[in-house]
Chains A and B, each alone.
Chain A
Amino acid sequence: MIKINYIKDILKVSSILLILFQLSCAQQKKRENIIVASAGKIESLDPAQANTLRTLQILSALGDTLYKINKQGNLSPRLAKDLPKVSKNGLLIDIPLKENISFHDGSIFNAEAMAFSLNRFRKIGTLNYLLNDKIEGIEVKDEFLIRIKLKKPSSSLKSLLTSVNLTPVSPNSYSNYKDSFNNKNFIGTGPYFLESFNSSQQIIKPFNKYWGEKPKNNGIYFINYSNSSTLFGAIKTKEVDVLISNSIDDIQRLTLNNMVKKDKLNAGEGYPIEIGYITLKSNKLPLENKKIRQALSYTIDRELISQQVSFGTREPLRSIVPPQLHKKEFLSWPKYNPDIARSLLKKEGYCETDILSIPLTFRSNVPADKLLALTWKDQIKRDLSDCIQITLNGVESTTVYKQLSEGAFEAVILDWTGAYPDPEAYLTPLLSCNEIIKNTCLKGEAVFSGSFWGDHKLQELLEKSEELKGEKRLNNLIKVEQLAAQGSAYLPIWLVNPKAWSLKNISQPEFSSNGLIILKNLKRN
């Protein structure tokens, strides 16, 4: 009798649990908003502080930029009414602004608001040196016209105006944040407004008074998971609708790509904006010797590395600027050729008696770096063990960044994503130098990059490119890159395309030229 009662009790509890579990499953089916998942928390929504892809992604939906780069690679107005008008001496840029645009707090977007946002960025922005190096001042010429005064002519400034970091914020809502970051809120002009924010989940909803094309969905939930496996599992189990590729391990990228081939998922891919490369410290022997650096540039079998590390998902790269930004096919760095490497090293006294020892540092918290380091080491051991020996050293990324400009690393694996889609956004941060003595950079971006390499001719060309336009400018920047390849202080390895996967009932993700998903175009089929 007692046993039967027990069984009945167990059955009762089990049935209640089952019903409730079913209820919670049914709840998921009613999903109206689109859930977008990626790795990494968002600690700040302030465009002046934003520096992660995830933050820029959400800001691109909450705000608008003055201009965008269209599919043809040209500047196209967004908040601006027309293309910028540059004065004859190239020192004044007038930007007319669109009218009848309002911020999410109801205030009007005008030249005052734009100037406030630009000046705020110049004052507190993380990347403010990008503007401050070029801009003398910003003037409000009319209610809907701003004038940018330049220190010297700058053709790259236009591309800079497409940067999400320069999205305007409402002066009303940011009056208490002129000199400080507003981390938990964002009031812009974008197609979405921020409904709720915490570091692991952000909810954005369509802004009814948006001036442009309205979002095709009812809102986006941004969520984060702390590791690649969970992100991968989340889209496989349909817990999330869209998965952004940052921090997805290569093996899981491959599996997701295979699911796309089997028509189980949609995928969208943007232009590559991230480059992976090795920096060689060129102010100390043996790597001070250009011939040795050049020899090393012949030792990298990029195709093999791409296959071994990423199953071919990372495209081998022989330039330090993503190819689409040059608008033409060209490759500056040499192909893999161990024979040339050996002969160059022999001329410098290696291979016969001496073996060149290179300590290679990789960021221990970046899985692809470690695999790249191991693969290159093994490849050298296979092909050039009589000439080169690579020793590996894993260091956590925060420490690497801190010690880079202190010259702590002979050779270090790094990556770079330009702040805006222009060759200059890659060349200047890696190559620019303010003080050069005998090809050693003492002060400038090349020091922060850890290469300490400078070249007067290259510097001249880099500065000259600011005065040039169009084709001439691009050709000039190609020459810069060719000089950089001859210097061989950087060894480009691969390109990483931004990618996103979506469930079959969600539209294919589309990307902007900044490598960000156009969230308002996502819709449920």
Chain B
Amino acid sequence: MSSKKELFKYIFSRLTLLPIMLWIISSLVFILLRIAPGDPVDAILGNRANEFARESLRIKLGLDKPLIDQYIEYLNQLIHGNLGISLNTQEPVKLIIAKSLPASLELAIFSILLASIVGYLIGFLGAVKPESRIDFSGRIFGIGTYALPPFWAAMVIQIIFAVLLGWLPIGGRLPPGAIPPPQITGFLLLDSIFDRNIEIVFSSIKHLILPSVTLGILLSGIFSRSLRLNLEEVLKKDYIEAAKSRGINESRILVKHALPNTLLPILTITGLTVSSLIGGALLIEITFSWPGIALGLQEAINQRDYPVVQGIVVIISSLVVMISVGIDIAIAYIDPRVSY
């Protein structure tokens, strides 16, 4: 009972940090955007518009107000869950994020699934049979995929499988001209299933394969290396030796004793990778013209669309912070050694 209370206390303390972290992040983004050279008015009107047009737009966008007023208004809106209106398209930022975030999440989920299956399998086999051929190949695979520049790997995969072999589409989420299903979840695959549109289901799978496989393979290297190293270390522990000397069969030792003890670092790495993928798959999104949030963020930065940049950063940060807190809590729950 007391342990449960302690856990809740721990969760509460971690969650109270969330708004503070978000406030710091959103304030930093607000300040950095204003310090950065470039002007949204220029990005919208071009640098040759006359002073009257520039000033009118500045007033309309609220950029004529003192910075502190803009900041207070921004925080006030943020507290009320309003992320503002895009300076460029006059669309609510919420809507822009609602359109692009599911695309990134869909890509991230498939990539992580693939990376986990491939990476952990290779890492596991390598740890179980150290210095074998499998282990050697696995290590080369791990180092190789980790070292590959993502944009290069993506381009090579795109050229081979889309351009030369023509097996899969070159980019985008759907074929040109295809009408997407009504947005329910934003996940194209799920929405097309709900819409019972079998053609779009398979089209979306086909479009998902290249970017998710590329990202998945690139990430699997980190996963395989981390599992191999952790499992190898665990397999050298005394309690494993003790289990062996008691005559417990090897697969049982692996599954019941070794693997659970490698779970904590694996959980941490997987969680952090998921959070970095939400906003960080930019190069993959650019290469495959995947209309995700990272691509949206890049475009918004180029256009100095302050509200969109701020909105996306706040949402990504919230997700990253929530995942990190979630991992902390999960670790605290699983590992009795963690004191809270």
Contact = CB atoms under 8 A, between A and B. Distances in A.
Contacts of B198: 20
A126 B42 contact: no
B202 A23 contact: yes
Nearest to B175: A28
Contact of A240 (B38, B48, B176, B288): B176
Contact of B90 (A183, A234, A365): A183
Interface string A120-144: 0000111111001000000000000
A225 B299 CA distance: 13
A223 B172 contact: yes
B298 to A, nearest CB: 9
Interface stretch (B27-35, B161-169, B216-224, B266-274): B161-169
Interface in A240-277: 240
Contact of B53 (A128, A237, A445): A128
B49 A237 contact: no
Contacts of A233: 158-159, 162-163, 170-171
B147 interface: no
Contacts of A127: 46, 48-49
Nearest to A236: B163
Interface size class of B (residues with CB under 8 A): 35 or more
Interface in B264-287: 285-287
B264 to A, nearest CB: 34
B43 interface: yes
Nearest to A219: B177
Interface string A171-185: 000000000110100
Given A233-B159, A239-B169, A448 B199 contact: no
Nearest to B163: A233
B336 interface: no
B304 A398 contact: yes
Contacts of B172: 200, 223, 225
Contacts of B44: 49, 126
Given A129-B53, A229-B287, A239 B89 contact: no
Nearest to B39: A402
B261 interface: no
Given A20-B198, A43-B89, A398-B43, A129 B49 contact: yes
B15 interface: no
Main secondary structure of the interface of A (DSSP, over half): mixed
A132 B50 contact: yes
B183 to A, nearest CB: 11
A251 to B, nearest CB: 13
B295 interface: yes
A399 B159 CA distance: 33
B302 interface: yes
A182 B169 CA distance: 34
A128 B42 CA distance: 15
Interface string A34-60: 010100010110000101000000000
B289 interface: yes
A226 B295 contact: yes
A126 B49 contact: yes
B26 interface: no
Interface string B241-258: 000000000000000000
A146 B302 CA distance: 41
B287 A403 contact: no
Interface in B189-207: 198-199, 202-203, 206
A87 interface: no
Contacts of B47: 401-402, 404-405, 448
Interface in A385-442: 396-399, 401-405, 429
B46 A51 contact: yes
A29 to B, nearest CB: 12
Contacts of A397: 302
A5 interface: no
Given A23-B199, A126-B45, A129-B48, A399 B176 contact: no
Contacts of B171: 225-226, 230, 233-234
Most buried by B among A43, A181, A445: A43
A24 interface: yes
B302 A398 contact: yes
A249 to B, nearest CB: 12
Contacts of B169: 239
A482 interface: no
A129 B50 contact: yes
B53 A226 contact: no
Interface in A190-226: 196, 199-201, 203, 221, 223-226
Nearest to B200: A24
B288 to A, nearest CB: 7
Contacts of A20: 198, 202
A89 interface: no
Contacts of A126: 44-46, 49, 53
Interface in B80-131: 88-91
A27 interface: yes
A181 B90 contact: yes
A17 to B, nearest CB: 8
B179 to A, nearest CB: 8
Contacts of A128: 49-50, 53
Interface string A500-511: 000000000000
B303 A398 contact: yes
B38 A399 contact: yes
B79 interface: no
B295 A27 contact: no
Contacts of A132: 50
A3 interface: no
Contacts of A35: 176-177
B155 interface: yes
A272 to B, nearest CB: 21
Contacts of A399: 36-38
Contacts of B303: 398
B181 interface: no
Most buried by A among B50, B88, B158, B177: B177
Most buried by A among B53, B159, B206: B53
A21 interface: yes
B291 interface: yes
Contacts of B203: 24
Contacts of B46: 51, 126-127, 401
A41 B299 contact: yes
A21 B302 CA distance: 38
A31 interface: yes
Contacts of A403: 37
A196 to B, nearest CB: 8
Contacts of B36: 399
A405 B54 CA distance: 14
Interface string A476-509: 0000000000000000000000000000000000
Contacts of A196: 179
Given A126-B45, A127-B49, A227-B287, 8 more contacts: A37-B176, A43-B88, A126-B53, A127-B48, A233-B170, A397-B302, A398-B43, A399-B37
Interface of A: 20-21, 23-24, 27-28, 31, 33, 35, 37, 41, 43-44, 49, 51, 124-129, 132, 180-181, 183, 196, 199-201, 203, 221, 223-227, 229-230, 233-234, 236-237, 239-240, 365, 396-399, 401-405, 429, 445, 448
Q: Closest 9 CB pairs between A and B?
A: A398-B38, A225-B289, A401-B47, A399-B37, A233-B170, A129-B50, A221-B177, A233-B163, A230-B171
15 contacts: A23-B199, A24-B199, A37-B176, A44-B89, A51-B46, A126-B44, A126-B45, A129-B50, A203-B177, A226-B286, A237-B162, A396-B302, A398-B38, A405-B47, A445-B48
